[in-house]
Amino acid sequence: MALTKAHNRMIASAPVSVKDFGAVGDGVTNDTVAIQAAINSLTDGGTLLFDGGTFKFATVIFDVKYGNIKGDGIIKGTIRVRAPDYLTNANLRRVFFVIDGLTFLSGSFNAVDRGIELIDVRKGVITNCKFEGLESCIYTPINVDTNWGQVSTQIVITNNQYNDCNYFVAGESSRPSIDYGMSDTVISHNSGTAKIDHINLNTFDGITISDNIFFADLSSAQSRSCVRLTNGAWAQIHDNKFFEMGEEQVRIESVTHGSIHNNVYAWSGRRVESPALLVTGSPEGGDYFTFLNIHDEEIHRPSGVGISIGAKQGRMNIHHNLIYLPGNNDRYTGTPPLSGDTRGIVLDSDLQFINTSNNSTYGGTYTLTDGTALVLNRHDANMNEVSNVVYRTTVPIVLTLSATETSIDVAKADIGQLSQSSATNITSLVSSTEIKTITFRAFNGNTTFVHSATLGLKGGINATLSNGNTITFLCYSDQAHEVARNF
């Protein structure tokens, strides 16, 4: 049995069980009054315990400085964390709270099921919690009584799991009365399934989103984004895994300052043809003041383009990104059919100081357009590959010839093994999808490559390979030219 103040009044630091104040925990009784009474009994540094039951209530306000909330009970209600002095002093809005290991389910006495609300609170940790069936797991409402600039700030949200929720972390727009709803917050190492957006923040000032795994609810007709940030500054989004979702997996709108890097995107835009990553809207700092780095992103099969940069963006670096088969989401379920837009990175014409370099698109093309600024944008060393390129793995693909063939399609091979049992004259090498290099090795003495206008050999002389000989060709369409041999 957990030690509580009711069981041992001699230990002032013992946790306070909500049951000590009359909470029933049967999943039916309204425990709101009892739970609030338990909270009100806590002093600074106290711990509230939800133990052994299903506690159904409306909304309770936790305003205990240095306070903790723990327990193995199931919660069907909303815990609103708020500083006790939020109405009088912005600098004292510190709670230093910890919410650890709780389980939140739907079915509260509120019209909208939310797990945790943060309002006018500074410094806290939400960790090891489980959420299921809620409208929002963690939510920042806007309190119009104050205008402190940052409603909730310096919060760490980590190692939580959630399922069948509309939003994991969401916040109301604070415009025009308050500058930022959520600020200087870290959201990391969480995983779950969202029906609409995993993270949706409108007005923020400093957000780090890292090392999360976000899954789509494939049955949801409202599915949109993994990360949806609007009107804010200082966004760091890195090392996440974004799976499916209905529209853009990352949507950045009217944001200034940040870095997006080392994320993996798979099958974005299942419901609506969309880019995997969209940067749009006039930046918070003003036109052309985006100050954003996008690099080392790995994007697989978006339904639209890979990365789309909208008008009025500026001061951006976009480099070392890999986009595989844009416009070719083979899990797309929307209507109308996909348009077939296979562009890897698309830049609007109204941009300033945009630098792109060392980006690669497989099975697609780039559209890199200089903006209308006095200083032109710069685009270096981007790989503009033809459509329908064969995706290269790290394992060489071997083509073995065991029968007599005169024309060979080498598009899907890296190495050719010549093992025919009878004499063979090869007169044509064809690569139907891409420019490529292939090396043939002879395991017999039966193969001769015949020089022609479409099969160019050194010195214009036919080449007969002995056992162990190799010869290398550069091939494109119906043209092939020898580049090396070992004999």
Please name each of the domains of the chain with its CATH number: 16-380 (2.160.20.10), 398-485 (2.60.120)
Alpha-carbon 274 to chain mean position:
14
Structure tokens at 385: 């590959």
Pairing verdict, β 130-132 and 103-105: parallel
E strand intervals along 74-120: 74-82, 94-100, 103-105, 114-119
Rounded-to-integer distance, Cα 50 and Cα 32, Å: 13
Q: What per-residue string of b and e applies to 396-427 under the rule 16 or more CB within 10 Å gives b?
A: eeebebeeeeeebebbebbebebebeeebebe
Rounded-to-integer distance, Cα 463 and Cα 425, Å: 10
Rounded-to-integer distance, Cα 484 and Cα 480, Å: 12
Give the contacts of 152 (CB within 8 A, at least 6 positions apart).
118, 119, 120, 121, 122, 140, 181, 182, 183, 185
| Residue carrying structure tokens 């006790």 | 84
Give the contacts of 40 (CB within 8 A, at least 6 positions apart).
none
Rounded-to-integer distance, Cα 360 and Cα 391, Å: 12
Q: What is the pLDDT along the chain (487 residues), one digit of tens a residue?
A: 444 544 443 345 689 999 999 999 999 999 999 999 999 999 999 999 999 999 999 999 999 989 999 999 999 999 999 876 554 555 445 678 999 999 999 999 999 999 999 987 888 999 999 999 999 999 998 764 554 455 788 999 999 999 999 999 998 876 655 557 788 999 999 999 999 999 999 988 899 999 999 999 988 999 999 999 999 899 999 999 999 999 999 999 999 999 999 999 999 999 999 999 999 999 887 888 899 999 999 999 999 999 999 999 988 999 989 999 999 999 999 999 999 888 888 888 888 888 888 888 887 776 555 444 334 455 655 544 333 233 334 456 778 877 777 888 887 777 888 888 888 899 999 887 667 788 888 888 889 999 998 899 988 999 999 988 899 988 888 888 888 888 8
